[in-house]
């Protein structure tokens, strides 16, 4: 039996009375890079935060490797938030030390290699890093944990095309194939080359989940073309 790394069953979430996720069900298998694609406000961050155990669902069931989301799942899920998790005084080396002390599964050797790949200096102040360099640091910290499931919320949002390429190359280079990676974005064209599978989310509902090769064969379209078609206003 193939183990489901992440499973949502009938998950809904409302903020006060406003629905953000409506009866969402899907599974993520091991060894895949999956794109969670949707326009602004479609529910991507909400879904990510629920999977990471940062906010509760209003209804439904969420499991990671068969266990309900909670302390045990947090130990095997590495979440890259859309804003940096660091203190203003920190240098890159402090941020790395902070992660090392906090997460037992942190691979310092891998972090060093990634910092080098990303052209980040250990003495750089986190506060004075550009947006793109900051995203590189967040990605380094997130991927340096030996997790089963990586969740990345808009890892290439707000950076220029050169930085995007570097970040995507780092994901491909440093991702370990026995884990899975769920990446949310609306920048489909730049990133579709790295996806095995895509999920389209619209107004809080998953409207398509498909293997990227199948999608291209079946519809004769790139993911980006499909995305534009599904989300045309």
Ligand X SMILES: Nc1ncnc2c1ncn2[C@@H]1O[C@H](COP(=O)(O)OP(=O)(O)OP(=O)(O)O)[C@@H](O)[C@H]1O
Give the interface with ligand X as residue ranges (CB under 6 A).
15, 18, 20, 38, 40-46, 186
Number of H helices, E strands in the chain: 9, 10
Q: At closest approach, how far in Å is the CB of 89 from ligand X? A: 28
Give the integer Cα–Cα distance in Å for 57 and 54. Answer: 10
Give the integer Cα–Cα distance in Å for 7 and 20. Answer: 18
Q: What is the DSSP string of 119-140?
A: T--TTSBGGGS-HHHHHHHHHH
Which residues partner with 182 through β-bridges?
Answer: 34, 151
Q: At closest approach, how far in Å is the CB of 10 from ligand X? A: 18
Q: At closest approach, how far in Å is the CB of 32 from ligand X? A: 21
Q: At closest approach, how far in Å is the CB of 183 from ligand X? A: 12
Q: At closest approach, how far in Å is the CB of 66 from ligand X? A: 26
43: how many CB neighbours lie within 10 A of its CB?
A: 23
Q: At closest approach, how far in Å is the CB of 62 from ligand X? A: 15
Nearer to ligand X, 43 or 53 (CB): 43
Give the integer Cα–Cα distance in Å for 74 and 54. Answer: 9
- Terminal-to-terminal C-alpha distance of the chain: 41
Beta strands in the chain (DSSP E): 6-15, 18-28, 33-37, 59-64, 67-68, 77-80, 149-153, 180-185, 197-202, 205-211
Nearer to ligand X, 44 or 136 (CB): 44
Here the tokens at position 221 are 């379209």
Nearer to ligand X, 15 or 102 (CB): 15
């Amino acid at each position: 039996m193939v183990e489901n790394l992440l499973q949502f069953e009938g998950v809904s979430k409302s903020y006060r009375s406003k629905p953000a996720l409506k009866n969402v069900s899907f599974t993520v298998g091991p060894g895949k890079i999956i794109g969670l694609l949707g326009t602004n406000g479609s529910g991507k961050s909400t879904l990510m935060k629920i999977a990471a155990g940062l906010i509760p669902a209003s209804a439904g069931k969420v499991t990671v490797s068969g266990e309900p989301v909670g302390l045990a799942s947090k130990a095997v899920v590495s979440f890259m938030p859309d804003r940096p998790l660091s203190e203003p005084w920190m240098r890159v080396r402090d941020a790395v030390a902070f992660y090392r002390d906090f997460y037992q599964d942190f691979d310092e050797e891998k972090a060093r290699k990634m910092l080098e790949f990303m052209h980040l200096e250990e003495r750089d102040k986190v506060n004075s890093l550009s947006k793109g360099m900051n995203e590189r640091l967040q990605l380094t910290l997130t991927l340096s944990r030996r997790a089963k499931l990586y969740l990345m919320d808009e890892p290439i949002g707000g950076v220029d095309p050169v930085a995007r390429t570097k970040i995507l190359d780092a994901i491909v280079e440093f991702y370990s194939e026995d884990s899975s990676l769920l990446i949310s974005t609306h920048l489909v064209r730049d990133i579709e080359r790295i996806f095995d599978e895509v999920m389209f989310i619209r107004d809080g509902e998953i409207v398509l989940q498909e293997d990227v090769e199948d999608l291209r064969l079946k519809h004769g379209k790139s993911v980006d073309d499909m995305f534009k078609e599904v989300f045309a206003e």
